Structure 1
């Protein structure tokens, strides 16, 4: 959990929250240690480039068989349920959180980006900004992707109205998720889903994701 400078000194203040998700094979320590979240946010806030916010770094590992368990529909649904039914209530009952969707953002890298897409697009009444770093619905897995695109088609107006920002980013053509994201963007264009796209060279690596957080955080709240 990241709290900005002044959180303890200003007990009347309430803050917006970014829920930030790691990738496959990692856990909640990824963004804290390798992601340097505290340093990025401290500097942005000190330079008045980002608003003071809380950052909740979750453990997105939902268990289940197989190394890619986190990428299946059933596991993604379990993540969505855990996020809505447990994580949000616990955070909002224990920290001084500003209320409402406009004060919540959800973002993640790789597997966490897929979780963001799945849970975020289905719950734009809860999150007004989504950040998807080095991820995208699989171009070669229509069993997972097709229902998500059907949902987007049926709810495009609501998604575009509710989301202040749908931010997609990739680590250049060398990013292992590049093809998936490119195919997803083409589908979103077809469905008239609004998004912003950013590309930064470096592949599927932490320097790229730290840069993503640096840019994404500046447009929040």
Structure 2
């Protein structure tokens, strides 16, 4: 069975290119103390949506960020707003949530600032052990401060991510305790010690031209670094944050109809190894007093139709959490 699971993860990595198509101000984080990030360009997409180009000292290059403004942004020029950060999956970018879901329409009646930063196709939401890039510093220090300074963001935050972005949401919530009131991970790996996860991220990173050793170092020699970025190793760090975990069984269903066979296969395999580790993680969180909800559903594959439904399902809770 273990051998079969490993094989499934390998197939998923090869076929997944389309499937992945605090109540305090942040500070004291790794790499903090650098010069402030700044907005170097703004492109208006529509009345509420903007694409920002952010000059990031941590990254040493400009990074795109998509923003959806609150409904009363113009009517309340002095108001501040709660913030929802939405993190994309691997082999994708900052446009994914608005490209694949109706989040702009969904948020039309919500006075919330939505921030969707780019994170690289295989950035792993981390400051790399090798010295760069520094995605974590950009997202959790520079960007948070910039949104507060330029877009009237309130220090009342939630974070939602899928796949690699779900890992990022959990990683950030644990490593920066108190930064987020709510963290949701959809179809995400949650335990870097899981053999299937290590195989999948290693193989996937090689495919994307990334040496995973540069991200967190050697899994043995730099064990502490790996565990410091492993949500499953830090259940107590989620105290004070409400956590939601959702994952499908891997079985295809009506929402997969009309998709090509290779894409469905990748979506099936990409999800199949996730339910058990999410169940274990949820149990560990509850055992230390973290308020945790789960949605383990069947059918359900590693694909956008299911994540769209999940976004609608959790939206009321997300909004209540950051009022």
Take 1:90 and 1:19, find their aligned partners in 2: how far apart are those partners? Answer: 13
SS in 2 for 1:39: helix
Name the structure where strand makes up a greater proportion of residues.
2
Cα gap change, 1:71 to 1:123, in 2 (>3 Å): closer
Take 1:107 and 1:119, find their aligned partners in 2: how far apart are those partners? Answer: 11
Q: TM-score, normalised by structure 1?
A: 0.77
Q: TM-score, normalised by structure 2?
A: 0.55
SS in 2 for 1:132: strand
- Shifted more, 12-21 versus 199-208: the winner is 199-208
1:169 counterpart residue number: 246
1:196 counterpart residue number: 293
Instruction: Deviation per CA, 1:16-45: give whole Å up to 9, x if none.
Output: 000000100110000011122102222xx3
2:97 counterpart residue number: 31
Gaps of 5+ in 1: 46-50
Take 2:70 and 2:138, find their aligned partners in 1: how far apart are those partners? Answer: 26
Name the structure where helix makes up a greater proportion of residues.
1
TM-fit CA distance, 1:85: 2.3
1:159 counterpart residue number: 238
Take 1:118 and 1:10, find their aligned partners in 2: how far apart are those partners? Answer: 34
Q: Which of 100, 105, 127 lines up with 2:180 in the alignment?
A: 127
TM-fit CA distance, 1:129: 0.9
Take 1:178 and 1:150, find their aligned partners in 2: how far apart are those partners? Answer: 17
Q: Which of 81, 92, 114 lines up with 2:137 in the alignment?
A: 81
Please say which structure displays the higher CA radius of gyration.
2
TM-fit CA distance, 1:193: 4.0
Take 1:146 and 1:107, find their aligned partners in 2: how far apart are those partners? Answer: 22
Do residues 97 (structure 1) and 153 (structure 2) align?
Answer: yes
CA contact (8 A) 2:83 2:157 kept: yes
CA contact (8 A) 1:32 1:57 kept: no
TM-fit CA distance, 1:59: 0.5
- What does residue range 210-221 of structure 1 map to in structure 2 within 5 Å? 210-220=308-318, 221=322
CA contact (8 A) 1:21 1:58 kept: yes
Take 1:41 and 1:125, find their aligned partners in 2: how far apart are those partners? Answer: 24
